[in-house]
Chains A and B, each alone.
Chain A
Amino acid sequence: MIVAAVKVSILAMGVIFTVLTVLIGVIQLLVKFIPYVEPPAPPARKTAPASGTGSEEEAETLAAIHVAVAHHRGESPQAIQVTNIQSH
């Protein structure tokens, strides 16, 4: 029985190494034919010159907040004046 167990062990280790060797071959083929390509760098952000009202993007965000607050209060956007914005 022990001899049979030793035979099974040798056979099974052989099968495991064979299966994993096949997988290594597959991986090498995949890596060879589908190489890694560096993703294109994201386009550089356009920065508007600093001014009293901030960048164009900030102005858009500010307008959106302005309208949302007005809508929430049920008032006209003209009736609300944003005087100070602080980031935390």
Chain B
Amino acid sequence: MEFTLSDSLSRIASSTGFAALTGGHVIMLLVSLVLFYLAIWKQFEPLLLLPIGMGCLLANLPLTGLANTVDGGLFNIFYYGVKHEILPPLIFLGVGALTDFGPMLANPYTLFLGAAAQIGVYTTLVGAVALGFNMQEASAIGIIGGADGPTSIFLAAKLAPHLLGPIAVAAYSYMSLVPLIQPPIMRFFTTKKEREVRMEQLKPISPNVKIIFPIAVTVICCLMLPGVAPLLGMFMLGNLFRESGVTQRLSETAQTHLINIVTILLALSVGSSMTAESFLTLETIKIIVLGLIAFCFATAGGVLFGKLMYIFTKGKVNPLIGSAGVSAVPMAARVSQKVGAEELKGNYLLMHAMGPNVAGVIGSAVAAGVFLSLFGDVGAAHSTAMVLTVGE
């Protein structure tokens, strides 16, 4: 074989990533830089946006084989965790271990605020269908309004895996923008008098109730909506680790190291799904717009239901806690606290807002369960189980 210098140089040049770089790649590299900017300099959800940005950057450097679609590639293997329902439920395990249901148990009617905030999910579902998405895609987009990243990823992976990248990015970007998106809506829908309501101190809850509650929720919700069992089951297991008092090591691991490791894997997988081919489409722009609408309607739904509770309780409930019904724990609760304290100094709404906030996590998981029951393959799994039973 003849070996010339010019041939060798030409071969080396054509084997570099530069030769395969397209305009789409360049745009996606710029998108990853925007994510880095938001994460590092603006500190918007840095734990998520930073690894998502890096996953996006690596997936769009040609010939590295790091896009999640490349069989056998590193991120393809990580992506199995998303595709096969492993990573989002593990995140929920950690979130459960970090969650105190006390405020919600002390004032159980705040669960309704978590339900009301799901209105954003369904208005967006209608909007998505109007924009030409099918029902499965619209459901996966609508759940962005639940302001719950793992639930959005879980549902998108099941109902619309081709839209996972834009849905996850929209969900986490808007979650990080909760302190900017929510306050104007909260002020718009409430009067000064309503915002100044001081709420009564929450009554203490027996530790035994805190232990029984996650078990009861698991049984009830998983029987009513089996599709949501991986998310709610893990969420409640994490909480049981915390409340049982006998699994401190497991609780600490779930709260810290486990959730951190899984966050890295999940965020990298999501970032690596943001390839130019899948992301630079008209659908992505529609999803970004619909995601914003979902958040706005979710906030408005929670606040308006809060107003309703204000009327029914003769002014004992501050409607501002309704906005925390979108999950985004604990950021949404902090926003309720901040807006309330701005209106009336020394008005502490944080603990009251934590009730609807954790209720929002349950609410968005239940909303996902409803979508899975309607459009997922839960029915198929049931049929398979039936066939197996008959066969045995």
Q: Chain A residues in contact with chain B, CB under 8 A? A: 1-2, 4-6, 8-9, 11-13, 15-17, 19-20, 22-24, 26-28, 30-31, 34-37
Q: Are B367 and A23 in contact (CB under 8 A)?
A: no
How near does chain A come to B344, taking the closest CB pair, in angstroms? 29
Which chain A positions have C-beta within 8 A of B122?
A: 8-9, 12-13
The one of B109, B125, B371 in contact with A24, judged by C-beta atoms closer than 8 angstroms, is B109
Majority SS at the chain A contact face: helix
Task: Known contacts A5-B126, A13-B122, A16-B367; decide if A27 and B112 are in contact (CB<8 Å).
Answer: no
Q: Is B123 an interface residue (CB 8 A)?
A: yes
How near does chain A come to B122, taking the closest CB pair, in angstroms? 3
Majority SS at the chain B contact face: helix
Which chain A positions have C-beta within 8 A of B386?
A: none
Beyond A12-B370, A27-B213, 17 extra complex contacts between A and B, CB < 8 Å: A1-B135, A2-B126, A2-B130, A12-B122, A12-B371, A13-B118, A13-B122, A15-B224, A16-B370, A19-B221, A22-B224, A24-B108, A24-B109, A27-B104, A34-B208, A34-B209, A36-B205
Q: Is B201 an interface residue (CB 8 A)?
A: no
Q: Are B108 and A36 in contact (CB under 8 A)?
A: no
Which chain B positions have C-beta within 8 A of A15?
A: 224-225, 366, 370
Q: Chain B residues in contact with chain A, CB under 8 A? A: 104-105, 108-109, 111-112, 114-115, 118-119, 121-123, 125-126, 129-130, 135, 138, 203-206, 208-209, 212-213, 216-217, 220-221, 224-225, 359, 362-363, 366-367, 370-371, 374
The residue in chain A whose Cβ has the minimal distance to the Cβ of B119 is A13
How near does chain B come to A6, taking the closest CB pair, in angstroms? 6
A-B contact pairs, 30 of them (CB 8 A): A1-B129, A1-B135, A2-B126, A5-B138, A6-B126, A9-B122, A12-B374, A13-B118, A13-B119, A15-B366, A15-B370, A16-B366, A17-B112, A17-B115, A19-B366, A20-B114, A20-B359, A20-B366, A23-B111, A23-B217, A23-B221, A24-B109, A26-B213, A26-B217, A27-B108, A30-B213, A30-B216, A31-B108, A31-B209, A36-B203
